[in-house]
Amino acid sequence: MNPFRSAVEARDTEAIEALLADDVVFTSPIAFKPYPGKAITAAILRAVLRVFEDFHYVREIGSGADHALVFEARVGDKAVEGCDFLHFDENGLIDRFTVMVRPLSGAHALAEAMGAEFPRIEREAAQAG
C-alpha cells in the first residue's frame, strides 16, 4: 500500500507531512494557481481532513514515481469522487500533488468549505514557515 494512503487512512497528519518534499507543489481542484511549499501543502491537507466526511480510498493505480489514489467522500450532503495524483522524488517524498474532484456540485461544496478554512490554513502555514 502506498505510504501516503496509509498515513491518510490513519489520519496521521505528522506522517502525511513527513512524506512531503520541502519543494512540493500542490495543485488544487478549486484554485487556479498552484501552492508551492511544504508548509502550505501540509496546512491544506490538514484542512481537507477536517472538511471531508466518510473519506476513503477505493483504488490505487501506479508504481514507481507516479501514483493515483481514487477516493470517495462527502462534504455536508454532497458526494465527492476524486483522485490524488502523486509524484514521488528520488528520495521517496511527494514533490507534485494534484487533486481532481467531481461532480460539480461536490466541487462547489468543497470550494465553499475550504474557503471557510483558508484563514486557518494561512495561519498554520505562516507559523510553520
pLDDT of residue 1: 73
Each domain of the chain, given as residue ranges in start order, spans 3-128
111 phi and psi angles, rounded to 5 deg: -60, -45
Instruction: Using the structure block, give the residue that is written with the C-alpha cell 476524486.
Output: 82
pLDDT of residue 32: 86
pLDDT of residue 31: 87
107 phi and psi angles, rounded to 5 deg: -65, -40
pLDDT tens digit string along 51-67?
999 999 999 999 889 99
CATH top-level class of 3-128: alpha beta
Q: Quick one: average pLDDT of 85-90?
A: 97
103 prior amide bond cis, ω within 30: yes
pLDDT tens digit string along 2-36?
899 999 999 999 999 999 999 999 999 988 899 99
